[in-house]
Amino acid sequence: MSSGVDLIWYRFRATLKRRLGGYLALAIFVGLIGGIAFGSLVGARRTESSYPQYLTSTNPSDLLVQPTTSINCADPFVAAIGRLRDVSQVRCALALEAETLDANGSIGTILLTQVELVASSQGLFSSQDKVTVIDGRAADPARVNEVVASPAAASLFHLHVGSRLLVGIDRYTEPPLGKPLRSLDLTVVGIGVFNNQIVQDDVDRGHTGFFLGTPALARQFSACCTSVTYDGVQLTNGGRDDGVFESEYSALVQKTFKVAHAQFQIYATSVIEADAQRAIRPETIALATFGGIAAIAALVVGAQVISRRLREQIEDADVLWALGAGPALTAADGFSGLVLSSAVGSVAAAALAVALSPLAVFGPARAVDPAPGFDFDWTVIGFGMAAFTLVLSAVAVVTAYRLVPRGTTRRRITTERRSAVVRAALGAGVPPSAAVGLHFALQSGRGRSATPVRSAIIGGVLAIGVVMATLTFGDSLNTLASHPALYGWNFDAALFSTDGYGPIPSVVVDPLLAHDPQVASATGVYFATVEIGGAAVPAIIAAASGPWAPPVLSGHAIEGSHQIVLGTATLAALHKRIGDTVTVQGPDLTLHLRIVGTASLPTIGTTLGLHASIATGAVFSTALIPSALIDTSGPFSGPNAIFVRFRSGVGEVAGDQTLDHVAAELTAVSRSPRIVAESSGDSAGLVFEVLGPQRPAEIVNYRSMGATPGVLAAGLAVGAVAALGLTLIASVRRRRRELALLKTIGFTRRQLLVAVAWQATVVAALSLVIGTPLGIAFGRLLWLLFAHQLSAVADPAVPVVSVAAVVLGTLLIANLVAAVPGRIAAETPTALLLRAE
């Protein structure tokens, strides 16, 4: 035994220099590909949790409420909110009556229409719902003239950190006084984002932005110059009590201000967070998928490299056996260095993943990541290191033992079976250079002539598969973004009041649309926030079996008055199923409805309020609503919006022009003395507009993933191309004897060049034949999974032109890569090699 150990130790020292390059190559390969895999998986986890972590860091309100009734933060009404059941804390902020002034003191922009000048002496937006400053600094609480601007407000006024803006502060009157009470020279000391502005749909993005003032500003002007307030409410049980609070809040508004119907805008943090999570899911899916594929590629190709290294040592193993080394020592001589290389590579992969971790957060929350910097995710990196080390070590040990001689065998017969494809090609009379290329591409050889054929093919299949999956997923995503009907907007346009509350007078609009030759159908809908199972749910109320119904994902549309269709996220949050009964409650309203389906809902409703969006909301019938609840504007009552479909052949421009004319007439009528005199006031002075498709946050932000999937896929493709080039070079160098013999029997330099080109083409073609259908199928599967989670209508697309371009490009690149190894093959020194043999 001692002599066997001495023999192995002597051989290890003698051959270390020759084998060290192979060990380092394995460690570097595992470190690079494994590090990218670990980094991608860490990125997927960090991206998935990025917005919830950011939201928590801002100490968010569970609900942000804006009553339409004019009040002041010092009003007893705010204290009454704090006494409601389940309210743990309420803080108030106010929006000042202000306008921009030019150098001559003339009024410019009214800061309640395009932006708002907001301030709080109670900590709202500074310690609760804390604004995150992304450039500059926070305003000094004691200074009246310092503000933080939202990015949208800074863009509108062309401001940056250090810019100054002259504004006038007014007493609250309608309309504002012509001369401001006081002018202020505000300085923008920072650019900041509110926690509800990180991810927004098109409805909310229409509200431009904010200037956040200081507590000193709020204290100075709160008694005179505010007409709009925000109440940030934190609940004892969090978002689970949203619906209960809304009902109690509505009753409090009715009682305090003696109004029949309470109107207010409400922002639910739980809904915002859910929308944000759905919006960043593309990045999560892309990163996790790529990380998983890269990890599989690292393990598969790493195992192939280990197997090839051990097979290269078959002759040495025979010699060791003949000299008396036992099976264990002979095997240990083969696998010990490879096991150590695998462990070193796994540690290097972990180090690379940690180094990449500051770049690991993708999507809209990246700019406000509360914990930027290096991150060691033990769940991914620790498990990944252990898995890589164990799997690759097991491959090395098992393969080494399988290659150890057994019994009285002293010599291996290393004859190589000819590939059936090669035999068929020769039988078909293919040119000799093509047959040689096929042989090199499909047969790895034995011993010292072994080449990583299978590794190259597997790497190529994985790369082509990832590229095709990325193209399929990306094309399906583009199809979704360009076809609004797939995300709920299955009508051409909507007539809408600018705030989403005001009724559209049916007595005016119905005749206009009924006699319009370009309008095929018009459906009036109402918006409401109702309580279902203790949760606040935005509702779209429309006629059952009318001309409009949302695109159904499961079950069926409402066909009767006591049925309800829910968004998939709402259904999941309520822990209900299709066929269950739910109780819908609202002001003076209690309904028991049966869930008949889920649908992709259009993103529309009250601006900066709780409104329906692709996966959130409910649809039920107007037949259930008492006329007293919807006819609140007397003879000029009507729906909150009208969904319009144009006749076939009517272009978008022509249709919108028609509706623009209708909206202008409605706006003019709403300002007429008759409306002011005969309506309750809700219809007076409204501005109406035509809305095109309003994208949910998930669609608005899908571009935030940018070129991430493409870059990752391209990275793997570049790796596959490099692997192909190295494989061709290794093949040429290891098959120098065969190349020399081919030249001896008459092969020309050009034929050897063509043979290597054929080898590259065959590897590329096999990768395409196997990887293309697998990649397209995998991309479709990913898209169906994503569309289901997004609550969009699944309509996977295959980019035929892009796929064809990849096929042709792959074959072209393969032949370009073959140029260098082909030249090496053509210059093989025949006489020198054969003399050495």
The pLDDT of residue 6 is 59
d(CA 692, CA 348): 52
Position 110 pLDDT exceeds 80: no
Neighbours of 802 (CB within 10 A): 16
The pLDDT of residue 97 is 82
The pLDDT of residue 725 is 66
CA–chain centroid gap for 434, Å, is 46
Q: What is the mean pLDDT of residues 248-272?
A: 77
Position 834 pLDDT exceeds 60: no
Position 141 pLDDT exceeds 90: yes
Position 147 pLDDT exceeds 90: yes
The pLDDT of residue 145 is 93
Higher pLDDT: 30 or 732? It is 30
Scanning the structure block, which residue is given the tokens 């054969």? 834
d(CA 282, CA 477): 9
- The pLDDT tens digits for 311-330 are 666 656 565 555 555 565 56
d(CA 173, CA 745): 102
The pLDDT of residue 388 is 92
Position 681 pLDDT exceeds 50: no
Residue 110 in contact with residue 103, Cβ under 8 Å?
Answer: no
Q: Which neighbouring-strand residues pair with 234? A: 89
The pLDDT of residue 833 is 47
Residue 133 in contact with residue 57, Cβ under 8 Å?
Answer: no
Residue 171 in contact with residue 222, Cβ under 8 Å?
Answer: no
The pLDDT of residue 338 is 80
- Which pLDDT band, with edges at 50, 70 and 90, does 437 fall under? confident
Region label for 583, one of left (φ > 0), alpha (ψ between -120 and 50) or beta (otherwise): beta
d(CA 264, CA 87): 18
d(CA 724, CA 457): 8
Q: What is the mean pLDDT of residues 64-74?
A: 74
Higher pLDDT: 297 or 719? It is 297
Residue 99 in contact with residue 225, Cβ under 8 Å?
Answer: no
516 closest CA partner among 636, 637, 663, 638? 663
Distances (CA, A) of 260 to 245, 249, 422, 588, 629: 18, 14, 87, 10, 9
The pLDDT of residue 432 is 77
- Which pLDDT band, with edges at 50, 70 and 90, does 175 fall under? very low
d(CA 30, CA 343): 9
The pLDDT of residue 698 is 77
CA–chain centroid gap for 24, Å, is 37
Higher pLDDT: 633 or 154? It is 154
Residue 126 in contact with residue 120, Cβ under 8 Å?
Answer: yes
Position 618 pLDDT exceeds 90: yes
The letter for the amino acid at 472 is: T
d(CA 697, CA 327): 64
Spell out the SS3 assignment of 159-190: CCCCCEEEEEECCCCCCCCCCCCEEEEEEEEE
* Cα within 13 Å of Cα(61), Cβ side: 29
Radius of gyration (C-alpha) of the chain in whole angstroms? 35
Position 177 pLDDT exceeds 70: no
Position 711 pLDDT exceeds 90: no
| Lowest mean pLDDT segment, chosen from 74-83, 145-154, 738-747 | 738-747
The pLDDT of residue 583 is 93
Position 359 pLDDT exceeds 50: yes
Neighbours of 816 (CB within 10 A): 13
Distances (CA, A) of 202 to 129, 657, 681, 691, 833: 22, 21, 28, 10, 72
Neighbours of 161 (CB within 10 A): 16
Buried b (16+ CB within 10 A) or exposed e, 631-648: bbbeebbbbbbbbbbbee
Position 405 pLDDT exceeds 80: no
d(CA 203, CA 612): 10
The pLDDT of residue 460 is 77
Position 248 pLDDT exceeds 90: no
The letter for the amino acid at 137 is: R
The pLDDT of residue 332 is 61
* Parallel, antiparallel or unpaired: strands 589-599 and 563-566: parallel
> Element (H or E) spanning 630, and its range?
helix 627-630
3-state secondary structure of 54: helix
Distances (CA, A) of 141 to 137, 186, 405: 12, 14, 82
* Parallel, antiparallel or unpaired: strands 209-212 and 115-119: parallel
828 closest CA partner among 764, 742, 745? 742
- Which among 102-111, 142-151, 366-375, 739-748 has the top mean pLDDT? 142-151
Instruction: Tell whether the torsion through CA atoms of 550, 556, 562 and 566 is positive or negative.
Output: negative
| Lowest mean pLDDT segment, chosen from 35-39, 728-732, 801-805 | 728-732
Distances (CA, A) of 483 to 446, 478, 499, 578, 701: 56, 9, 26, 27, 16
> What DSSP string runs through 727-791?
HHHHHHHHTHHHHHHHHHTT--HHHHHHHHHHHHHHHHHHHHHHHHHHHHHHHHHHHHHHHHHHT
- The pLDDT tens digits for 552-580 are 999 999 988 889 999 998 999 899 999 99
Average pLDDT, whole number, for the chain?
A: 79
Position 336 pLDDT exceeds 80: no
d(CA 835, CA 697): 72
The pLDDT of residue 296 is 83
The pLDDT of residue 576 is 93
Both tokens of 553, joined, read 């994902």
The pLDDT of residue 79 is 86
- Which among 69-78, 224-233, 488-497, 630-639 has the top mean pLDDT? 488-497
Buried b (16+ CB within 10 A) or exposed e, 285-323: bbbbbbbebbbebbbbbbbbbbbbbbbbbbebbbebbee
Segments in 148-268 forming alpha helices (H) = 151-157, 202-205, 215-221, 242-257
d(CA 146, CA 133): 14
Scanning the structure block, which residue is given the tokens 């994208």? 695
- The pLDDT tens digits for 731-780 are 666 666 677 777 777 777 788 788 888 888 888 888 889 989 998 998 89
Higher pLDDT: 696 or 619? It is 619
DSSP at 147? E
Residue 757 in contact with residue 437, Cβ under 8 Å?
Answer: yes
3-state secondary structure of 60: coil
